[in-house]
Amino acid sequence: MDVISGEDVISGEDVISGERVVSSEIVDAVERLGTTPREIATALWSKGATGRPCRSGKCVIAAFLVAEFPEAERVRVKYNPFAKTVRIDADVCGTRSTTVYAGGLATFLERFDDGMFPELIAPTS
């Protein structure tokens, strides 16, 4: 899975986005989900993750990261349909991490937002 910082595609452990250093644990957790939309959906389903489409703080990726990192105060996941990228902002123990992904994660989130993975959609409350 490609992680993007500015104009460069770089590996997860070397990520620096602006002035914020990205937590390699968050990058690793996202990369373990897989590289294709189907792999990502299957991994999320196997972990019992569900979320709400088109809701940055409640999408399935945000729910997964909050479950993986209970110390996270806030996780926001935003899909950019024009750039075909996903931006993940996470506040963990007072440190803000920002990561931008392209590729399979972006395609997965586009499809999730379009309702293509109903097994991952949380019931409305």
Contact, 17 vs 5, CB < 8 A? yes
- Please indicate, yes or no, if residue 124 is contained in any of the structural domains: no
Amino acid at 13: E
Amino acid at 80: N
- pLDDT for the residue 95: 78
Largest CA distance in the chain: 41
* Domain count within the chain: 1
- pLDDT for the residue 10: 34
- pLDDT for the residue 16: 39
Q: Tens place of pLDDT for every residue, the chain, 125 residues?
A: 544 444 333 333 334 343 334 467 888 899 999 999 999 999 999 999 999 999 999 999 999 999 998 888 889 999 999 999 999 988 877 777 888 888 899 999 999 999 999 999 998 86
Contact, 90 vs 103, CB < 8 A? no
The closest alpha carbon to 85, from 112, 64, 65, 105, belongs to 105
Residue 54: domain span: 3-8+15-114
- Please indicate, yes or no, if residue 93 is contained in any of the structural domains: yes
